[in-house]
Amino acid sequence: DASDPMLSGAGDHGGVGFTYLPDPAGSAVDAGDDTVCASAPVDGVDQRGVTRPPMGCDIGAVEYRFDSVTLNVSVTGPGTVDANTPPTPDAGGIAGCTESGVGCSADYLGESVAFTPIQLSATPGSGHHVEWGGDCAADGSVMLDASKTCTATFVTNIWGIGGSISGLGANGLILSLSADGGNIFEAIAPTSGSTVFAFAADVPFDADYAVSINNQPAGHSCQINNASGTMPDADVNDVQVVCTPSPEIFANGFE
């Protein structure tokens, strides 16, 4: 029927209360009285505050928006970004978006995304996580009430290093951590009786690290097991410091 306005069901299309959105193929679109639309109490806007065009406004409480809005995504680091559907873009698409910029732009019809957030999802490379920015919320969602740009930064994960201590019966032990090509260095001094240790510094994924003894405790000899390696995508907590009392040497040269 050519006179069918093809209204949607009552729904939250913005504004106060539920409204019926005209279908772009229905008879209500562009069929309004332009003089009425421009005059009080309409004043050129619909019930939601959306501007009505000066020529060809729609009949009804809401104006169907044909304007196009664009979502751009900028990626830094190893990983990809995709946009969940629906809504489906009118042109382009956010799919497999990387630092190269390919698959990183999508156009949507304004009404199709006016009150539906676009949800972006990230697939980080090994040992990385995503941090959203730009117009995106922290969870990767964005409202396209206008054209927007989101940033996805894939950041290297950082982890801690520690382990166990056995047989430490005196003070004076100093352990040092060197990692990431010398960019990270820390020394700690576990006290007598300590059974665990942990460095405060965090080490990036895939960086080389080494734990060493800078100073032996009084009257003891300590050695380290599992002292070095390449940082996995997890904390390292299996470094072992094993201490034993040093033999007592008497004046006659015997123990």
- Tell me the per-residue pLDDT of 28-81, one tens digit each, with 9 for 90 and over: 888 999 999 999 999 999 888 888 888 889 998 888 777 788 999 999 999 999
170 shares its domain with 142: no
Least confident range from 9-18, 97-106, 236-245: namely: 9-18
In a domain, 46, yes or no: yes
75 shares its domain with 137: yes
pLDDT value, residue 68:
84
25 shares its domain with 98: no
Query: Do residues 130 and 82 lie in contact, with contact meaning Cβ atoms separated by under 8 Å?
Result: no
Q: Domain boundary at 64, 91, 109, which?
A: 64
pLDDT value, residue 253:
54
Confidence of residue 105 (pLDDT cuts 50, 70, 90): very high
List the CATH number of the domain containing 169. Answer: 2.60.40
User: What is the Cα gyration radius of the chain?
Assistant: 33
pLDDT value, residue 249:
59
125 shares its domain with 173: no
Going edge to edge, which strands form the sheet with 161-166? Answer: 196-198, 161-166, 236-245, 220-225
CA distance 228 to 234: 15
152 shares its domain with 72: yes
DSSP state letters, 160-176: -EEEEEES--SS--EEE
Phi/psi for 148 (5° steps) reads: -135, 160
pLDDT value, residue 54:
83
138 shares its domain with 91: yes
Query: Do residues 123 and 75 lie in contact, with contact meaning Cβ atoms separated by under 8 Å?
Result: no
**Taking 90 as the threshold, does the pLDDT of residue 218 lie above it?**
yes
Residue 188, classed as helix, strand or coil, is: strand
pLDDT value, residue 2:
56
pLDDT value, residue 214:
97
Higher local confidence (pLDDT), 109 or 194: 194
In a domain, 177, yes or no: yes
Q: Domain boundary at 39, 64, 89, which?
A: 64
DSSP 9: P
Residues in the chain: 255
pLDDT value, residue 86:
85
| Domain enclosing residue 44, as ranges | 1-64
pLDDT value, residue 254:
53
- Tell me the per-residue pLDDT of 234-250, one tens digit each, with 9 for 90 and over: 999 999 999 999 886 55
**Taking 60 as the threshold, does the pLDDT of residue 18 lie above it?**
yes
In a domain, 49, yes or no: yes
31 shares its domain with 83: no
pLDDT value, residue 1:
47
In a domain, 26, yes or no: yes
Closest CA to 172 of 243, 253, 112: 243
79 shares its domain with 124: yes
In a domain, 251, yes or no: no
DSSP 255: -
pLDDT value, residue 251:
55
Average pLDDT over every residue of 150-170: 98
Residue 134, classed as helix, strand or coil, is: strand
pLDDT value, residue 224:
98
In a domain, 255, yes or no: no
**Residue for token pair 């059974």:** 195
40 shares its domain with 74: no
In a domain, 250, yes or no: no
CA distance 110 to 52: 14
- What's the token pair of residue 7? 């209204």
In a domain, 229, yes or no: yes
Higher local confidence (pLDDT), 112 or 217: 217
50 shares its domain with 85: no
94 shares its domain with 167: no
Share of the chain above pLDDT 90, in %: 68
Q: Domain boundary at 49, 64, 79, which?
A: 64
How high does pLDDT run on average in the chain? 91
- What's the token pair of residue 246? 């040093």
Phi/psi for 89 (5° steps) reads: -65, 150
- Tell me the per-residue pLDDT of 166-181, one tens digit each, with 9 for 90 and over: 999 999 999 999 999 9
Number of domains in the chain: 3
